[in-house]
Amino acid sequence: MLDSLLHLDQELFLYLNGLGSEVWDPFWLLVSNKWSSIPLYLLLFIFLYRICDRREFIMLLLTIAVLITCTDQVSNLAKNSFDRLRPCYEPAIAGMVRLVKDGCGYHYGYFSAHSANSFGLAFFISYLFGRGRGMLVILLFLWACLVSFSRIYVGVHYPLDVLSGAAAGSLIGWGIARFFLFVKKKLIP
């Protein structure tokens, strides 16, 4: 059963990765680059600064740092535990992968830290501040989906890597949002 799921994942990857074209490569490389998220996150921080008092804002920044550290480290732990090769290193599909970026990264890719980080932050912010702010929620999750898909497009993650990263990031984002609310209740009257 697991072998058939992994084979299906590989087939879906080859299909989605094969849809790419040189015209769209620069866009997806930009989306996949971790530094391209900085303008969005700066706007997000400005928004949070405007709606929070100073103590809550500082608490938010510290909690977001913990969130990203958690999603990133859980992803690294999974990669080192499952030892699933990235598509660009998989001998069974060598020559079929459309690798858009220079280099492929670490050999193992299950699950995607990009997906976990972006979905973790999207879920965290949406859980805390999304009520009545539908456009904020849509923007955050749209960005998380774009970042996640970009990892398939550039050839470094399977769809299951991306979906698992999104699920893990969302779960961690939810848990840390709940923790934030608990601590906030104790520290900020």
- 48 Cβ neighbours under 8 A, 6+ residues apart: 57, 60, 125, 129
Confidence at residue 151, expressed as pLDDT on a 0 to 100 scale:
95
pLDDT in tens, 118-130: 999 999 999 999 8
Task: Kindly state the average pLDDT of the residues 101-114.
Answer: 86
Is the pLDDT score of 111 beyond 80?
yes
Work out the percent of the chain whose per-residue pLDDT is above 90. Answer: 72
Is the pLDDT score of 104 beyond 90?
no
Confidence at residue 137, expressed as pLDDT on a 0 to 100 scale:
92
Is the pLDDT score of 189 beyond 70?
no
Is the pLDDT score of 101 beyond 90?
no
Is the pLDDT score of 102 beyond 80?
no
Distance, in Å, from the CA atom of 70 to the CA atom of 20, rounded to the nearest integer, reads 32
Tokens matching residue 110:
């299950």
Cα 113 from chain centre: 6
Quick one: CA dihedral 158, 38, 125, 71, positive or negative?
positive
Per-residue confidence band for 132, with pLDDT thresholds at 50, 70 and 90: confident
CATH of 2-187, one of 3.30.1490, 1.20.144, 1.10.1060, 2.60.40: 1.20.144
Of 33, 44, 56, the C-alpha closest to 135 is 44
Is the pLDDT score of 187 beyond 90?
no
Distance, in Å, from the CA atom of 152 to the CA atom of 20, rounded to the nearest integer, reads 10
Distance, in Å, from the CA atom of 84 to the CA atom of 86, rounded to the nearest integer, reads 6
pLDDT in tens, 10-67: 999 999 999 989 999 999 999 999 889 899 889 999 999 999 999 899 999 999 999 9
Q: Is 33 exposed, middle or buried (0-12, 13-18, 19+ CB in 10 A)?
A: middle
Longest dimension (CA), the chain: 60
Distance, in Å, from the CA atom of 131 to the CA atom of 174, rounded to the nearest integer, reads 15
